[in-house]
Amino acid sequence: MTIATPHASAPRKRSRHVRLALLGAAAFSLAACRDEEVPSAAFPTLDACLEAAAGPGTWVTEESCEQGFGEALEAHVETAPRYDDEALCEAEHGGECMVEERPGGGGSVFLPLMAGYLLGNMLGGRGTRAQPFYGRSGGGFATPGGTFLNRARGSTTLSPNAFSAGPSTRTAAPMTRSSVARTGGFGAARTGSGARGFGG
C-alpha cells in the first residue's frame, strides 16, 4: 500500500506566508508609532518663535509661543541641572551659569541659562506643551527629560514623551565633579539610550 506524503515544498510555503504576515504586521506597527508623533519645533528665544509664527504654513502661533515659553521657564526653575561649582556648570554647558541661593542657609548652587525651548503641538486638541533645553559639553542640546536636539532651532515630529518633565532638582543634592565623572554629565544617561534627536 502506498501512503501519500505531503509535498516537500508545502512547509516552506506556509513558513514564507507566516514571515510575510509578520513583516506586514511590523510595518503596520511602525507606521502606527509614526502616526502618534506630534509636530514639534525648537527655538533659541521667544522672539525666534514669534518670528516663525508670523510666517506662512506653520502650526506655531503667537499664543503658543508665549504659553510655551512660560511653561518652559516654569520647568527650568523646577528641573534645570544644578551644580555645586560654577566652573563645572560652565564646562558642562558651554556658557554662562547663574547662581541660586538655597533657602534656610542651604548654600549656593549653579545652573545654566536656558539655550532655548522645545514646543510640541499635542494630538486631540490638547494644546501645546514645552520643555527647556540646555547646551551639552559633548555637543548638541538636551531637555531635563532626556530629549536630545542636534540644533537649537528646527522642526520635526516627536513622540509626546519627548515633552515629559525631568525630575525636580530644586532641593536635590547638586551635581559634583565626581558625580559628573561617574554618570557622564547632564543628559548622558538618558540621551545615550534611544532618545530622539533632530535638526533642520
Write out the chain's pLDDT in tens, 200 residues: 443 444 444 555 555 554 544 444 443 333 334 558 999 999 999 999 999 999 998 999 999 999 999 999 999 999 999 999 999 999 999 989 999 999 887 899 999 999 999 999 997 667 899 999 999 988 899 999 999 999 999 999 999 999 999 999 999 999 999 999 998 888 775 543 344 555 54
Contacts of 36 (CB under 8 A, 6+ apart): 123, 159, 160
User: At what angle are helices 46-53 and 62-79 packed, to 10 degrees?
Assistant: 160
**Grid cell at residue 175:** 551635581
- The per-residue pLDDT for 33 is 45
* DSSP code at position 165: P
- The per-residue pLDDT for 51 is 97
**Grid cell at residue 174:** 547638586
Q: Distance of alpha carbon 57 from its chain centroid, rounded?
A: 24
d(CA 132, CA 42) in angstroms, rounded, equals 9
Closest CA to 62 of 73, 71, 54: 54
d(CA 46, CA 32) in angstroms, rounded, equals 33
- The per-residue pLDDT for 41 is 97
d(CA 6, CA 111) in angstroms, rounded, equals 72
pLDDT tens-digit map of 24-44: 444 333 333 455 899 999 999
- The per-residue pLDDT for 130 is 97
Whole-model pTM?
0.77
pLDDT tens-digit map of 63-81: 999 999 999 999 999 999 9
d(CA 33, CA 35) in angstroms, rounded, equals 5
* DSSP code at position 98: E
Domain segments of the chain as ranges: 41-81+115-133+140-191
**CA gyration radius, the chain:** 24
